[in-house]
Amino acid sequence: MKTTTLLLVLCSFFSVSAGEYNPVLDIEDVAPKWEALPATNGKRIAFDDFKAKQVLVVVFTCNSCPYAVDYEDRLNAFAKKYTGEGMSVALVAINVNKVEEDLLPAMKVRATEKNFTFPYLFDETQMIAKQFGAGYTPECFVLNQKREVVYMGALDDSPDKTKVKIKYLEDAVAAALAGGLPKITETVPIGCRIRIVRTRRK
């Protein structure tokens, strides 16, 4: 009995923590990096390309999810308000879905149609979504200057833009710029499940 209790205590002590809703990352964890990924603008963009920015916002999104589509205008508005030359914040969107309507050619069309002012990247390996523990589109992560996660989850509190009362993303960015954590650090993502392809074990 004593041996069993000791093992339970040790397992609890050495267990890797994750967030309340995220299976991989917790608040103040250092975010995983990605190598250069293809973007809709024809460039290849890596995590470290944003190192000059004080805050980095990573949003997992796609073309095919109606929730993600509904948030496109809100992402554009956020980007115009907080990002750009001389600003301290960067926003990058990443798509990992592998159905035809979410592949890079379709992403280029969508980026042009919506006039995205932020990079829209494609990761065909889906690895970066797995490393972030992202499971939905849209799902956002706010990283501070140390690239620690200060917020993860939904962009705001309602898929209906006319009913939004709390802008989680903007509150988190303001807190990160001030060197702290927002009052709300994690929320349940609202959106479609990311279509992760599971590899079979041999």
Domain boundaries, the chain: 23-45+52-193
Please report which confidence band the pLDDT of residue 18 belongs to, taking 50, 70 and 90 as the band edges: confident
Average pLDDT value for residue range 154-173: 97
**Percentage, residues of the chain above pLDDT 90:** 86
pLDDT, tens digit, for every residue of 95-144? Answer: 999 999 999 999 999 999 999 999 999 999 999 999 999 999 999 999 99
Q: CATH code for 23-45+52-193?
A: 3.40.30.10
The pair of three-digit structure tokens given for residue 170, joined into one six-digit string: 């903007």
pLDDT, tens digit, for every residue of 64-97? Answer: 999 999 999 999 999 999 999 999 999 999 999 9
128 vs 25: CA distance, rounded Å: 12
**Percentage, residues of the chain above pLDDT 70:** 89
pLDDT computed for residue 197 by the predictor: 67
pLDDT, tens digit, for every residue of 46-68? Answer: 999 999 999 999 999 999 999 99
Cβ contact 178:11 at 8 Å: no
pLDDT computed for residue 195 by the predictor: 82
Query: Percentages helix, strand, coil for the chain, rounded to the nearest 5?
Result: 35, 20, 50
In 3D space, the residue among 143, 142, 156, 150 whose CA is nearest the CA of residue 190 turns out to be: 156
Average pLDDT, the chain: 91
63 vs 150: CA distance, rounded Å: 27
165 vs 152: CA distance, rounded Å: 18
The pair of three-digit structure tokens given for residue 106, joined into one six-digit string: 């379709």
Helix (H) or strand (E) holding 57: strand 55-60
